[in-house]
Chains A and B, each alone.
Chain A
């Protein structure tokens, strides 16, 4: 297990004022870092490049880790973090794609990112592009029925440039008997379940081949 996200803590603190607790507890932090540091083919000077990979933060609440990563990678100036949630700031408690460079969707209401990602995967495939679409959702968000519509559509159509990351912090009120991965596997998805704090494991899962099928990576960040 590796942990090389400590340099993000001061960025996180510019929004929350807390360097010690909240940033390390952010459930999405490690997955976001691995995506932007080692997986995604994106760059601040290519935010409109049609061949860029797409990352969709569907779980839009608590986006501080996302903003910290975007600042670290140069998509936004770190000083903007100080304006977080101010009127006129580009950064709010839910991201707005029309305001923030490099943010692919506005999110906050649960269950919208995955259906949009499916549409992007169809569009990129129709254009013959090799770009990939990654969408991050939460295990609680998975409750939304719109996700299950999209899981079925993506599986039946074999959208192999689509990857869903489910951050599993045991948030769903009624749980997922049989495991989250099983909900995807039955719809012809490739699946992996990893320790959501283990960067090498996350990286290996996100970069595994899954020809002819979409991929779900369940990142377990349950406490204790």
Chain B
């Protein structure tokens, strides 16, 4: 995972959402102070559908539910912990229970800026969405993947989570909603989610495994995983940039009738890292750096 200096995912989001606000009167944006500077012009032009509620994240999700109930397609945006964890019951009730949708767009990811500490880290976000029915979860791996994912999300009326990160792969890949095979091997299958891809490719260089990439982890592409595993030994490694093992149950379901082994790499569940520093230093602690991925892969494949 390398940092992108030219255009961040957050900037790409602002650019594409501003276009959507200009073109589609159904689109609304709910902010809680964060990123308001990126939307100054549309907030002047559309004062009732670009709503900054201030630092009030429970009201933010309720307001989104109300906008959806009046026919809008609300996009809701702030830091992951304040978008998903603090108003978790509002996600359950003000959106899901009411039978309406919204597009939630977070920044901060698991530890984009470790200097800010634990308060701004949300590695549990995707696992939390797994407790609620009907959510699509996108984890783009490059700023250029944000536009098509956002456009697809806005076009629907369901519940979508778009997890932006300051981490990025060197190159974007096409957005298909399916697991994309990037290389073929025989010893096992590695699934790289979003910005973990570059480290996965470095770790698997010269290793006889298949690699799948996806920026969309829910719904889980069971057929894509099954097709890949059918042509390798039944060893599966899923590398996710959030809580370790978040997709382990989905892998088990997809391979329910196949004797298989699986390992997961992601943010560790067994400790809170009371440390600042750089994202790369945190990758190392969680085994998400290329060396850590290679080590887990060797353990899984026994080479």
Contacts and interface: CB of A to CB of B under 8 A. Distances in A.
Contacts of B65: 115-116, 119
Nearest to B57: A149
Interface string A140-151: 000001100110
B240 interface: no
B48 A122 contact: yes
B97 interface: yes
A199 interface: no
Interface string B269-281: 0000000000000
Contact of B70 (A50, A97, A105, A149): A50
Nearest to B59: A149
B67 A105 contact: no
Interface string A116-156: 11111111111100000000000000000110011011001
Interface string B26-64: 001010000000000000001011010110101101111
Nearest to A123: B70
A196 B49 CA distance: 35
Given A112-B94, A126-B46, A152 B69 contact: no
Given A120-B67, A123-B70, A126-B28, A114 B62 contact: yes
Contacts of A111: 58
Contact of A124 (B28, B51, B70): B70
B90 interface: yes
B153 to A, nearest CB: 19
B231 interface: no
Contacts, number: 106
Contacts of B51: 122, 153, 157
Interface residues of B, number: 31
Contact of A146 (B30, B54, B58, B68): B58
B59 A150 contact: yes
A123 B71 CA distance: 8
Contacts of A168: none
A114 B67 CA distance: 13
A5 interface: no
A187 to B, nearest CB: 12
A152 B71 contact: no
Contact of A118 (B28, B59, B89): B59
Given A98-B99, A112-B94, A122-B51, A152 B67 contact: no
B98 interface: yes
A30 interface: no
Nearest to B55: A149
A55 to B, nearest CB: 13
A63 B144 CA distance: 50
A109 interface: yes
B298 to A, nearest CB: 49
A160 interface: no
A123 B59 contact: no
B28, B70, B98: most-surrounded residue (chain A CB, <10 A): B70
A88 B186 CA distance: 52
A86 to B, nearest CB: 20
A115 B61 contact: yes
Contacts of B67: 119-120, 122-123
B287 interface: no
B48 A126 contact: yes
Contacts of A101: none
Given A118-B63, A123-B67, A153-B63, 15 more contacts: A105-B69, A106-B93, A106-B97, A112-B94, A115-B58, A116-B69, A116-B94, A119-B62, A119-B67, A119-B74, A120-B67, A122-B49, A122-B67, A146-B58, A149-B58
19 contacts: A50-B70, A98-B99, A114-B62, A115-B58, A115-B66, A115-B90, A116-B66, A118-B63, A119-B62, A119-B69, A121-B66, A122-B48, A123-B69, A146-B59, A146-B62, A146-B90, A149-B53, A152-B54, A153-B56
Interface of B: 28, 30, 46, 48-49, 51, 53-54, 56, 58-59, 61-72, 74, 89-90, 93-94, 97-99
The 9 A-B pairs of least Cβ separation, nearest first, read: A119-B66, A115-B62, A123-B70, A126-B48, A149-B59, A119-B63, A149-B56, A120-B66, A146-B58
